[in-house]
Amino acid sequence: MDGSSLDRGARGKQPGPHVEKRLNAAFVRKAPPGRHTDGGGLYLQVDRSGARRWLLRIVVRGKRKDFGLGAANLVSLSEARE
């Protein structure tokens, strides 16, 4: 046993951000409807109509808040990450 299983969370996942699952520009253009995470609280929200917008989810005074950062066609992925 190498001890690697001790570093995993309760569901067998590594804790912390999963950088291998970060979004890329091609996915942002063709993402299906739903909410897609980039990590660090940044989400791409895609409506059924195809509208795409960036959301930043943070906790303020113990309550979760979603802040809109703008439409994905106006705000690039790199700008949204900043």
pLDDT tens-place string over residues 32-68: 999 999 988 999 999 999 999 999 999 999 999 999 9
Mean of all residue pLDDT scores within the chain? 86
More confident residue, 9 or 76: 76
Q: What percent of the chain has pLDDT over 90?
A: 71
Taking residues 74-79, report their average pLDDT. 96
Buried residues in 57-72 as b, exposed as e (16+ CB within 10 A): eeeeeeeeeeeebeeb
pLDDT of 18 higher than 70: no
- Residues whose CB falls within 8 Å of the CB of residue 41, separated by 6 or more in sequence, listed in order: 56, 57, 58
Contact 69, 55 (CB under 8 A): yes
Q: For residue 48, what are its two tokens?
A: 């059924």
